[in-house]
Amino acid sequence: MTQASPSRAPQGLILLVVIQVLCAGFFAADIIADFSETADMTTTRWHLYIEGIATLSLVAAILFEIRFVQALLRRKAHLEHSVSVATSALHDVIEAHFDTWGLTPSERDVATFLVKGMGIAEIAALRGSAEGTVKSHLNAIYRKSGTHNRGELLSLLIDSLMGRESVRA
């Protein structure tokens, strides 16, 4: 699935609003022209009323759309800020666990890749080391963290993020 670029999406919406404003202007000019050209209002009165109501509805919809888009853009900015704060907090919590467990720099590296969901072969390839070395680091990480496998380690980290458990020594 592709996503619109953050800078392109508002430009597209702005273009849409501009087109709608031009259409509303055209309809309003048409109503004024019809009104000034019509001497006998009895035959075209309902037609002008309907055009007028449609034009006013379009203007109201444009105003609503502008306010709605502004609210969405504010919400998007708030969510992006929240994700940034949460990412920083997640990193801090994981680093606090690594500090408490006394992981070496190599073990931290392996543990970080492990948390990201990578397998032993992927970690070894990324670090340029043998799979046996990665397994050795994993055993040390599990021992120091008091866990026995990847699932328990991730569960421990998630529980601490949710405030259910303190950092294990």
Nearest CA among 121, 119, 107 for reference residue 150: 119
d(CA 13, CA 127): 45
Q: Which residue has the tokens 């990193």?
A: 91
- State the pLDDT confidence band at 165, using cuts at 50, 70 and 90: low
H/E stretch holding 1 reads none
For the domain made up of 102-161, the CATH class stated in words is mainly alpha
Residue 169 pLDDT: 45
- What lies within 8 Å, CB to CB, of 141 at 6+ separation is 101, 103, 107, 110, 111, 114, 153
**Sign, Cα dihedral of 61, 63, 67, 70:** positive
| pTM, two decimal places | 0.56
Q: What does the pLDDT look like over 7-61, one tens digit per residue?
A: 556 788 888 889 999 999 998 998 888 777 766 666 667 778 888 899 999 999 9
Residue 92 pLDDT: 87
- Average pLDDT value over all residues in the chain: 85
**Which tokens in the block code for residue 60?**
């109201």
Residue 31 pLDDT: 83
Length of the chain: 169
- Average the pLDDT over 135-150 and give the result: 94
Give the whole-number percent of the chain exceeding pLDDT 90. Answer: 53
| Amino acid symbol at 75 | R
The yes-or-no verdict on residue 6 having pLDDT over 70 is: no
